[in-house]
Amino acid sequence: MNVIAWNCQGAASRKFYRTLKQFLSVYKPVILCLLEPKVSGVQADSICSRLGIEEWLRVEAFGFTGIWVLWRDTISVDILTTHPQFVNIRVGGNNTQLWTFSLVYGSPLASLRRELFSRCAGFVDWIHKEGLLDFGYSRSKYTWVRGQNHSTFKGARLDRALCNMDWRIQFPNADVVHLPRVTSDHNPLLVRMDPHKADVAERYFKYNAKKHVLARIEGVQRSLAIHTNQNLLRLDQKLRKELEDILYQEELLWFQRSREVWIASGDRNTRYYHTATAVKKGSSRISSLKDDEGNFPPLYQSTWMYINSPVSPEEIKEGCNNTILVLIPKASSPDSVKQLRPIGLCNIVYKILTIVMTKRLKPVVRSLIAVIK
Tell me the pLDDT tens digit for each residue of 308-332: 667 676 766 666 667 777 888 887 6
CATH architecture for residues 2-207:
4-Layer Sandwich (3.60)
Q: Encode the chain in three state secondary structure.
A: CEEEEEECCCCCCHHHHHHHHHHHHHHCCCEEEEECCCCCHHHHHHHHHHCCCCEEEEECCCCCCCEEEEECCCEEEEEEEEECCEEEEEEEECCEEEEEEEEECCCCCHHHHHHHHHHCCCHHHHHHHHCCEECCCEECCCCEEECCCCCCCEEECCCCCEECHHHHHHCCCCEEEECCCCCCCECCEEEECCHHHHHHHHCCCCCHHHHHHHHHHHHHHHHHHHCCCHHHHHHHHHHHHHHHHHHHHHHHHHHHHHCCCCHHHCCCCHHHHHHHHHHHHHHCCCCCCECCCCCCCCCCHHHHHHHCCCCCHHHHHHCCCCCEEEEEECCCCCCEHHHEEEEEECCHHHHHHHHHHHHHHCCCHHHHCCCCC
Closest listed residue to residue 28, CA positions, set 160, 190, 269: 190
The upper half-sphere exposure of residue 104, i.e. CA atoms within 13 Å in the direction of its Cβ, equals: 19
Structure confidence at residue 103 (pLDDT): 92
Structure confidence at residue 64 (pLDDT): 59
Average pLDDT over residues 16-39: 90
pLDDT of residue 302 exceeding 90: no
The share of the chain scoring above pLDDT 70, in percent, equals: 73
CB 85 within 8 A of CB 105: yes
Structure confidence at residue 368 (pLDDT): 73
pTM (2 d.p.): 0.60
Q: What pLDDT digit, counting tens, does each position of 195-243 carry?
A: 776 554 454 444 467 778 888 888 888 888 887 778 888 888 888 888 8
The domain locations on the chain are 2-207, 301-368
Q: What pLDDT digit, counting tens, does each position of 257-275 carry?
A: 655 444 445 454 565 556 5
Structure confidence at residue 324 (pLDDT): 77
Structure confidence at residue 207 (pLDDT): 45
pLDDT of residue 284 exceeding 50: yes
The share of the chain scoring above pLDDT 90, in percent, equals: 16
d(CA 48, CA 32): 11
Q: What pLDDT digit, counting tens, does each position of 142-151 carry?
A: 899 888 777 7
| Residue of 28 and 225 predicted with greater confidence | 28
Mean pLDDT across the chain, nearest whole number?
78
Structure confidence at residue 337 (pLDDT): 76
Helices 195-202 and 14-27: angle between axes, nearest 10 degrees? 110
d(CA 177, CA 328): 49
Structure confidence at residue 255 (pLDDT): 61
The upper half-sphere exposure of residue 194, i.e. CA atoms within 13 Å in the direction of its Cβ, equals: 10
Structure confidence at residue 29 (pLDDT): 93
pLDDT of residue 365 exceeding 80: no
| Residue of 281 and 346 predicted with greater confidence | 346
Measured in whole angstroms, the distance separating CA 241 from the mean position of its chain's CA atoms is 17
Closest listed residue to residue 4, CA positions, set 43, 50, 53: 53
Q: What pLDDT digit, counting tens, does each position of 168-202 carry?
A: 888 888 899 999 888 899 999 999 988 776 554 45
Q: What pLDDT digit, counting tens, does each position of 245-260 carry?
A: 777 777 766 666 655 4
pLDDT bin (cut points 50, 70, 90) of residue 71 is very high
pLDDT bin (cut points 50, 70, 90) of residue 96 is confident
